[in-house]
Amino acid sequence: MKKIGTILLAAMMVLSLAACTGGSEPTGNSANIEPEPLQSSAEESPTPDEEPEGSKILVAYFSVTHNTEGVAQKLADGLGADLYEITPEQPYTDEDLDYGNSGSRSSVEMNDPSARPAISGSVENMEQYDVVFIGYPIWWGEAPRIMSTFIESYDFSGKTLVAFCTSASSSFGSSDSALRSTADHAAWLDGQRFPADASADDVLAWANGLGIQ
């Protein structure tokens, strides 16, 4: 009897040990693993392309008697362009504009193709403009020499240039020929002559007909 009791006691101890061991079975490291973020089923919408902008336009003009200034202002207003006045370092006086005097400043300059009157100031960020309108009065059938100073001050490569002028009777003719030869890497469109009292409608009808917008 004692031997049977000993056997039963040993069996109970084995069963008790197995139960304790099974309860302490490690469950691994799953508790330390962060859950993966949920993947969105909807793709992000692409950023829409920006609307193409029109050409950036500058209207640069030289005007002593304000005739060309008036046309330039109408042109800039109608096209939504920036406006820049080409201002000489030494302003022109009435005596300077005495065409009947061969010794007047304007006469001396126009008789010298190499004359380059100095300009006060400059256009900021000229590179931003795609189209540049260039306005001036007709002097001796040509653009004043200060216009050559202006053209030679910038790189117009790849830009579109358009000249316009004002006069009482002279035609546009070849008044921009010297300017074209200086900026020969630009695309030049045909220019136009206007009277001082040209209407905004006439100025814009010409500009819109160039197809630059």
What is the CATH classification number for the domain harbouring 151? Answer: 3.40.50.360
Q: Is residue 136 situated within a structural domain?
A: yes
Count the domains in the chain.
1
Q: Is residue 14 situated within a structural domain?
A: no
Q: Is residue 7 situated within a structural domain?
A: no
Q: Is residue 142 situated within a structural domain?
A: yes
| CB contact set of 119 (below 8 Å; sequence gap of 6+) | 86, 87, 88, 89, 146, 149, 150, 153
pTM (two decimals): 0.74
Give counts: helices (H), strands (E), the chain.
6, 7
Calpha distance 123→131 (Å, rounded): 14
Residue 133, domain extent: 57-87+123-208
pLDDT value of position 76: 98
- Express each pLDDT in 183-211 by its tens digit: 989 999 999 999 999 999 999 999 999 99
Average pLDDT estimate for 19-37: 43
Q: Is residue 196 situated within a structural domain?
A: yes
Calpha distance 6→10 (Å, rounded): 6
Q: Is residue 177 situated within a structural domain?
A: yes
pLDDT at 40 over 80: no
State the helix-helix crossing angle for 200-208 and 67-79, rounded to 10 degrees.
60
Q: Is residue 45 situated within a structural domain?
A: no
- Express each pLDDT in 42-84 by its tens digit: 444 444 444 346 679 999 999 999 999 999 999 999 999 999 9
> Contact 183/151 with Cβ under 8 angstroms?
yes
- Express each pLDDT in 122-170 by its tens digit: 999 999 999 999 999 999 999 999 999 999 999 999 999 999 999 988 8
Q: Is residue 192 situated within a structural domain?
A: yes
% of the chain beyond a pLDDT of 90: 70
Calpha distance 13→7 (Å, rounded): 10
pLDDT at 14 over 70: no
pLDDT value of position 213: 65
Average pLDDT estimate for 96-102: 94
pLDDT at 33 over 90: no
pLDDT at 20 over 70: no
